[in-house]
Structure 1
Amino acid sequence: MRAHKSIQRGFTLVEIIIVVVLLAVLAIYSFSFLGIGSEIVAQVGSRTQLVAEQRFAVERLNREIRSAVPRSARSNGACLEFMPMLGSNVYLSLPRPGPGGTNPMVVVTPYLSLNTANLVGSYVLVYATEPSYIYSTDQTRRKTIAAIASDPPQNGLSSLTLAGSPSEFFTDSPSRTFYFGAPPVSWCVDEARNELIRYSNYALSGTQPGLTTLQSSAGSQQVMAVDVANNLSAGQAPFVVLEPTLQRSNLVRLFFAFVSSEDQSATIDITHEVYIPNVP
């Protein structure tokens, strides 16, 4: 019988080169897609971290504004100022000029988390419908509490001895409501340092203090947030106070732009409106 030789065929050099080129192209596109996916995951992680870092400051500011004395919020663009409210209730008698006036002021003691004795030195406001009545030297609707004592004849009442000149309130509140107020607080965006700073322990002023004034006069300065990227010259004002209408009281609009210092592609804008529910 005749033997048959098996024929074995291999790949030619051209075929091998074509396969190598195709595999290289496929690998390049595969790694490219993997790189895009990794970049997306990293950006999402950076934004999530950025939101988590700034959430505390925005939430605290929201709570402080909602607890402010009504009509005390005012803004000059870079800074927001308001007077924290320590308590509120109704009064029974109010020091007024003329024969119908009484002194001291008798009020229904509001529920307070602090000792009422600590109210000495703070403010009591009656029908302060404009920031000028709250901050200026005009003391016709804002008085400083010189002393406070429980009214023995009736439980739940307190007598306030007031300081200042004039010593009487020149108008009543239609609802006979009063507010206890603390020294003012300001939140400012420092564009040079990219920080949101809270200022406190400074004196009342008829003109709202700016950032430079607060840096030199405020007794307490706290950095509440970093990586703040508001461009004030481009109109990115962080604070806008909207005047009250017949349907609502003060409304404060907040806008913050945050950019991560570690990842410039991680950016986030926060727009929020805070409603101050109280009325004078």
Structure 2
Amino acid sequence: MNGRAGYTLIELIMVIVLLSIVATVSVRFVGLSTQGALDTSARQLRALQSVVVSEQLTRELRAAFPLSVRTSGACIEWLPLEAGTNYLRRTRGPNFNEIEIAPFSQPPSTENKRTVIYGYGTSTGDLYTASDPGPVSSTISAVDNNSTPATITLDSSHRFKGNSPARRLFVVGEPVSVCQSDRYLYRYSDYTPTSTQATPPAGTREVLSASLTGTVDFRVVPATLQRAAVVQFTFALESLDGDETTTVSQEVQIRNVP
């Protein structure tokens, strides 16, 4: 009589155990692969965010009046340049409120704008307040770019403290600040300039980054007659679980020469 073919209980248990091992390894492999893809995506997102933040800061700082850049703690502040030209004659009597200039290639707006001539030898705070005499004028009331010569008319009389060797005149706007607050990096604008840097200032606030860790480090190497100003900033972005950070360090040259 022929025996019937089949599996023994021991063989069945061994197959179940082996399948369980294979399934466990497969699930673990898929889990690690998925986690690796998520980690890579998170790193790429932090890298992209760091590029966007550093590029925005770099572009704005490059268009700053170089002598106006100042830092205090985790804040940096500057006066943005709106336009530049050569002046032919500074303000003179009897009203001391008109500057003769070479025409602007693109005339700037006049709202809350001021003119700056030179500025070396003065404190940074003097560039934020219109002292008379001083390097920064009162606000501009009008720009006549079509007259001969072109002229800038000020709201009130002003005497400039010094001459620019290159006879350069700049038009600057309202100050801009970037400050850290806990995990956030904010950009501040639309506020009144003061001789002492406010940290942070009052004004319109926009979020630049929401995942900072540590303290943002802003440093300024002031401009001299021989070289441009240099701004250095370093910040770190943290992953959501706090296990990884991405550190960014950048140097920005401010080439505008008063």
Bin of the TM-score, shorter chain as denominator length: 0.7 to 0.9
Equivalents in 1 of 2:23, 2:224: separation in Å?
64
> Radius of gyration: which is bigger?
1
Equivalent residue number for residue 69 of structure 1: 65
Alignment of 1:117-266 (within 5 A): 118-119=109-110, 121-129=112-120, 130-136=123-129, 138-139=131-132, 140-150=134-144, 154=148, 157-163=149-155, 167-191=158-182, 194-211=183-200, 214=201, 217-218=202-203, 220-229=204-213, 231-232=214-215, 237-244=216-223, 248-261=227-240, 263-265=241-243
Distance 1:75 1:160 in 2: 31
Q: Given that residues 74 and 81 in structure 1 are in contact (C-alpha distance below 8 angstroms), is that contact kept between their aligned partners in structure 2?
A: yes
Task: Give the structure with the larger strand fraction.
Answer: 2
Partner secondary structure for residue 212 of structure 2:
coil
Label 1:29 to 1:63 Cα distance change in 2 as closer, same or farther (>3 A).
same
Unaligned stretches of 5+ residues in structure 1: none
C-alpha displacement at 1:41, in angstroms?
Answer: 0.5
Code of the aligned partner of 1:77: G
Q: Residues 209 and 108 from structure 1, CA distance in 2 versus in 1: closer, same or farther, beyond 3 angstroms? A: same
Structure 1 pair 12/248, CA: closer, same or farther in 2 (3 Å)?
Answer: farther
Per-residue deviation, 1:96: 6.6
Instruction: Assess, with a 3 A threshold, how the Cα gap between structure 1 residues 153 and 33 changes in structure 2: closer, same or farther.
Output: closer
Match of 1:38 in 2: 34
Choose 49-58 or 133-142, whichever is displaced more: 49-58
Q: Which runs of 5+ in 2 are unaligned?
A: none
Give the 3 Å change call, closer, same or farther, for CA 152–36 of structure 1 in structure 2: closer
Hey, what's the Cα distance between the residues in 1 that align with 2:38 and 2:152?
Answer: 59
Identity %: 28
Give the AA of the match of 1:124. T
CA contact (8 A) 1:260 1:267 kept: yes
For 2:170 and 2:136, the matched residues in 1 are separated by 10
- Map Cα deviations across residues 136-158 of structure 1 (whole Å, 9 max, x no partner): 4544111024433437663xx42
Mark the CA change 1:222 to 1:103 in structure 2 (over 3 Å): closer, same or farther.
Answer: closer
- For 2:245 and 2:87, how far apart are their aligned partners in 1? 50
Assess if the C-alpha contact under 8 Å between 2:87 and 2:99 holds in 1: yes
Give the drift of 1:119.
1.6
Question: Which amino acid in structure 1 is aligned with residue 219 of structure 2?
Answer: V
Q: What's the CA shift for 1:173?
A: 0.6
Q: TM-score, normalised by structure 1?
A: 0.77
The DSSP-based 3-state class of the residue aligned with 1:87 is strand
Provide TM-score, normalisation by structure 2.
Answer: 0.82
The code of the aligned residue for 1:67 comes to A
Q: Secondary structure at the match of 2:251?
A: strand
Q: 2: CA distance between counterparts of 1:249 and 1:152?
A: 33
Once residues 90 and 78 of structure 1 are traced to their aligned partners in structure 2, the CA distance between those partners, rounded to angstroms, is 36
- Please report how far the alpha carbon of residue 161 of structure 1 lies from its aligned counterpart in structure 2 after TM superposition: 2.8
- Inter-CA distance 120–32: structure 2 relative to 1 (3 Å threshold): closer
What is the one-letter code of the residue matched to 2:136? R
Q: What's the secondary structure of 1:65's corresponding residue?
A: helix
Change (3 A) 1:121 1:20: closer
Larger mean CA deviation between 5-14 and 263-272 belongs to 5-14
CA offset at residue 70 of structure 1?
Answer: 1.7
> Contact 1:43 / 1:266 at 8 angstroms: preserved in 2?
no
The Cα shift of 1:53 comes to 5.0
